[in-house]
C-alpha cells in the first residue's frame, strides 16, 4: 500500500467508513499523542508478502508481520480475502486485529496439546470482526487426556476483547488459558459455530476422558464478561460445554493488585444450542451471574453451578430435548437435569427461569441439587416455571440429596413429572411454600415427598393430579400447614415420622385425607384439616 492509499484507508476508518469492501466495523486503532491515527501502525498482510487467495500458505508472512509490529498496532484482515495458514498464529505483544476477512487454518490443528488458530499474549489486545475457520475439521488424536484438541482463539493475557468474530468448526471456540488467573476478558457478540468437541457421540457410554475438552467459550480466570454470543455444537458431534467458567484457586499467577480472583463473572444474553454435555457452567466461583440466556439440547445439564457461592441464575429460557437414547458420557453416571447445583453450592439463587421439556425428552429431574462431597446450602429456588409436553419422561421435578441444608423452594410451577414433584431426600431445615405442583392428569407418583428430612415447612402449596399429594416419611419436626390438595387419591402420609404439625390443609381427595399419622401419637399434631 502506497502512502496515498494508506492515507485514504486511515481517513475511511476514522470517518467510520469502509475500504474497498473490507467491512471494517468498530476498528480499534492506536492514536498518536495529538489524537490522530498513526498510518504506520495500520498494517495489511497483503503489503507484507501474504497472498490472501485461500490457497497460498500465508502463515510465515502474517507471523512475521505480527512479530515486527509495534505494540498496539492495528492489523487489518481485509474483507473478501481468505488467508490460508499451515498452522496457528501467536501474538506475543498487544495487537488490534480487525476486518471482515477470513483466517483459514488448514494445518497444525491435529497436534498434541492445545493447538490454537490464534494465540493472544499481549495485555489489552483486541480481535474484532474476523472470521477464523478450520475448514478441514482437523481434530486432535482421540483418546488423549491432556490436551489433544484444538481451539480457535487462545487467550493468555489480561484485558483482552474478542468481539463480533466468527469461530468456525474448531474443537473448542474461545479459551482463556488455564495457566493463570487472567482477568477482565470481554467476549462479546461472537458466533461460535459448529463446535466439534472431542467426545465420541450419543452412544459413548465407556470413555470417561472422551469429553474432556471442546467448549464453545471457556474462561479460566475472573472478572470476565461473556455477552451476546451465539454458540452451537455441530450436529452429530459430542462437545463438552457451551459456555464454561472455572476458577483456578490453586494455579493463580500474574494476578493484578486489584484482586477479585475467581470472582465477578457475567454470562448474559447468550444463545447456546446443540449436543453439549452441559450448556452453561460456573465452577469454583464467587459472585457470578448467569442471566437472560437461551439454552437448548444439553445432554447432561443445561445450566449448572458447581462448588460456587453467591451466584445467581435467573431469567434463562431452557429447552430440554435430550432423549433417553442419548447416553453420551454415561460412564460418568450424570444425574441428567436442566438445572443443577452440584457440590458445595451455597448462598445462590435460581429464579424466574423457564424450562420446557419437549415431546419424548427424558431426564432424571428438572432441578438437581446433589453433592458427593460437601453440603449444598442456603439455596433459593423461586419463581421458576417447569413444564412441557405431557409425553416427556421427567422422573422428578426437583430432587435433593442425600444432603441439602436450608433450601428455600418458593413460588414455582412444577408439572410434567412421572414420579415426584418435589423429592426432598435428606433435606434439612427446608422451606417449601406457594408452589403449584401438577401431575398432569393422574401421575402415579407423589406431589411433595420429604424422606429422612430434618425440620422443615411445607405451606400454602397447591398440589393436584397425583396419587399421594404430600408424604413426610422417616422425618421429624416438619410443619405441613395451609396446603390445597385437589384431584388426588390421598392427601397426606406421615409414615414413621414424629413431631409433625399437620394443620389447616384442604384435602379434596378421593381416598384418605391422612395416612400413617394420628393426632397425639409420637408427638404429632393433626388438626383442622378439611
Evaluate whether residue 101 is within a structural domain: no
Evaluate whether residue 82 is within a structural domain: no
What region does 456 belong to: left with phi over 0, alpha with psi -120 to 50, or beta? beta
Q: Which residue has the cell 439440547?
A: 297
The pairing of strands 191-197 and 166-168 is: parallel
Evaluate whether residue 499 is within a structural domain: yes
Evaluate whether residue 178 is within a structural domain: no
C-alpha cell at 86: 499451515
- Give 57's contacts (C-beta < 8 A, 6+ positions apart): 84, 85, 86
Which structural domain, as residue segments, surrounds residue 457? 341-530
Candidate from 9-18, 199-208, 459-468 with smallest mean pLDDT: 9-18
The confidence score (pLDDT) of residue 178 equals 86
Q: Which residue has the cell 442425600?
A: 402
pTM beyond 0.85, yes or no? yes
Answer yes or no: are the C-beta atoms of 181 and 158 closer than 8 Å. no
Question: What does the pLDDT look like over 32-62, one tens digit per residue?
Answer: 333 333 545 689 999 999 999 999 999 999 9
Answer yes or no: are the C-beta atoms of 398 and 365 closer than 8 Å. yes
Kindly report the number of other CB atoms within 10 A of residue 6's CB atom: 15
- Rounded Cα distance, 348 and 279, in Å: 19
Evaluate whether residue 11 is within a structural domain: no
Evaluate whether residue 330 is within a structural domain: no
| pLDDT band at residue 7 under the 50/70/90 scheme | very low
| Nearest alpha-carbon partner for 445 in 404, 473, 425, 416 | 416
Provide the percentage of residues in the chain whose pLDDT is more than 70: 87
C-alpha cell at 388: 412441557
Evaluate whether residue 387 is within a structural domain: yes
| Nearest alpha-carbon partner for 288 in 375, 243, 222 | 222
Helix (H, G, I), strand (E, B) or coil at 6: helix
The confidence score (pLDDT) of residue 26 equals 40
Candidate from 98-112, 146-160, 194-208, 394-408 with smallest mean pLDDT: 194-208
The confidence score (pLDDT) of residue 33 equals 39
- Rounded Cα distance, 154 and 134, in Å: 15
The confidence score (pLDDT) of residue 142 equals 62
- Rounded Cα distance, 292 and 458, in Å: 30
Mean pLDDT of 1-30: 37
- Rounded Cα distance, 418 and 465, in Å: 11
Mean pLDDT of 411-422: 96
pLDDT beyond 70 at 11 = no
pLDDT beyond 60 at 251 = no
Question: What does the pLDDT look like over 474-518, one tens digit per residue?
Answer: 999 999 999 999 999 999 999 999 999 999 999 999 999 999 999
- Rounded Cα distance, 46 and 164, in Å: 23
The confidence score (pLDDT) of residue 442 equals 53
| pLDDT band at residue 129 under the 50/70/90 scheme | very high
Phi, psi angle pair for 158, to nearest 5°: -90, 160
Task: Output b/e per residue, 378-406; b: 16+ Cβ within 10 A.
Answer: bbbbbbbebbbeeebebbbbbbbbebbbb
- CATH assignment at residue 461: 2.160.20.10
Evaluate whether residue 456 is within a structural domain: yes
| Nearest alpha-carbon partner for 294 in 267, 318, 320, 321 | 318
Q: What is the mean pLDDT of the chain?
A: 88
Question: What does the pLDDT look like over 140-198, one tens digit per residue?
Answer: 876 544 557 899 999 999 999 999 999 999 999 999 998 878 899 999 999 999 999 98
C-alpha cell at 184: 477482565
If one counts the domains in the chain, the total is 1
Amino acid at each position: 500500500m502506497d502512502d496515498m492509499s494508506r492515507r485514504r484507508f486511515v481517513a475511511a476508518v476514522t470517518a467510520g467508513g469502509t475500504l474497498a469492501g473490507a467491512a471494517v466495523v468498530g476498528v480499534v486503532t492506536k492514536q498518536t499523542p495529538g489524537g490522530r491515527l498513526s498510518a504506520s501502525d495500520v498494517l495489511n498482510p497483503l503489503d507484507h508478502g501474504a497472498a490472501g487467495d485461500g490457497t497460498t500458505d500465508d502463515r510465515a508472512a502474517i507471523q512475521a508481520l505480527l512479530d515486527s509490529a509495534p505494540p498496539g498496532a492495528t492489523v487489518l484482515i481485509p474483507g473478501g480475502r481468505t488467508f490460508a495458514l499451515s498452522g496457528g498464529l501467536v501474538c506475543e505483544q498487544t495487537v488490534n486485529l480487525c476486518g471482515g476477512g477470513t483466517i483459514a487454518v488448514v494445518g497444525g490443528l491435529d497436534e498434541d496439546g492445545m493447538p490454537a488458530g490464534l494465540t493472544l499474549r499481549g495485555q489489552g489486545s483486541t480481535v474484532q470482526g474476523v472470521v477464523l475457520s478450520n475448514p478441514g475439521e482437523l481434530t486432535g488424536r482421540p483418546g488423549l487426556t491432556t490436551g489433544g484438541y484444538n481451539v480457535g482463539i487462545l487467550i493468555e493475557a489480561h484485558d483482552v476483547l474478542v468481539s463480533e468474530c466468527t469461530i468456525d468448526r474448531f474443537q473448542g471456540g474461545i479459551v482463556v488459558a488455564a495457566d493463570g488467573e487472567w482477568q477482565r476478558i470481554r467476549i462479546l457478540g461472537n458466533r461460535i459455530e459448529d463446535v466439534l468437541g472431542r467426545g465420541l457421540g450419543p452412544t459413548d457410554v465407556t470413555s470417561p476422558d472422551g469429553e474432556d475438552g471442546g467448549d464453545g467459550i471457556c474462561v479460566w480466570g475472573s472478572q470476565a464478561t461473556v455477552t451476546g454470543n451465539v454458540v452451537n455444537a455441530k450436529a452429530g458431534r459430542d462437545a463438552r460445554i457451551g459456555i464454561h467458567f472455572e476458577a483456578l484457586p490453586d494455579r493463580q499467577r500474574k494476578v493484578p493488585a486489584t484482586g477479585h480472583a475467581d470472582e465477578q463473572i457475567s454470562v448474559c444474553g447468550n444463545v447456546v444450542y446443540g449436543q453439549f454435555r452441559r450448556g452453561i457452567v460456573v465452577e469454583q466461583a464467587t459472585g457470578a451471574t448467569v442471566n437472560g440466556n437461551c439454552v437448548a439440547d444439553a445432554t447432561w445439564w443445561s445450566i449448572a453451578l458447581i462448588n460456587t457461592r453467591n451466584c445467581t441464575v435467573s431469567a434463562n429460557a431452557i429447552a430440554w430435548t435430550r432423549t433417553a437414547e442419548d447416553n453420551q458420557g454415561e460412564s460418568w453416571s450424570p444425574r441428567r437435569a436442566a438445572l443443577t447445583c452440584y457440590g458445595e453450592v451455597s448462598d445462590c439463587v435460581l429464579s424466574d427461569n423457564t424450562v420446557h421439556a419437549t415431546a419424548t425428552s427424558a431426564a432424571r429431574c428438572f432441578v438437581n441439587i446433589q453433592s458427593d462431597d460437601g453440603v449444598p446450602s442456603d439455596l433459593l429456588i423461586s419463581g421458576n416455571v417447569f413444564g412441557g409436553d405431557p409425553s416427556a419422561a421427567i422422573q422428578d421435578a426437583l430432587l435433593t440429596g442425600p444432603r441439602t441444608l436450608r433450601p428455600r423452594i418458593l413460588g414455582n410451577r412444577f408439572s410434567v413429572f412421572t414420579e415426584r414433584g418435589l423429592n426432598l431426600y435428606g433435606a434439612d431445615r427446608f422451606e417449601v411454600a406457594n408452589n403449584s405442583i401438577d401431575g398432569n392428569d393422574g401421575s402415579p407418583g407423589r406431589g411433595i415427598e420429604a424422606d429422612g428430612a430434618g425440620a422443615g415447612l411445607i405451606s400454602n402449596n397447591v398440589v393436584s393430579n397425583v396419587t399421594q399429594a404430600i408424604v413426610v416419611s422417616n422425618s421429624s419436626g416438619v410443619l405441613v400447614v395451609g396446603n390445597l390438595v385437589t384431584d388426588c387419591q390421598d392427601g397426606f402420609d406421615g409414615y414413621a415420622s414424629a413431631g409433625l404439625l399437620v394443620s389447616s390443609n384442604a384435602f379434596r381427595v378421593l381416598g384418605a385425607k391422612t395416612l400413617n399419622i394420628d393426632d397425639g401419637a409420637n408427638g404429632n399434631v393433626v388438626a383442622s384439616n378439611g
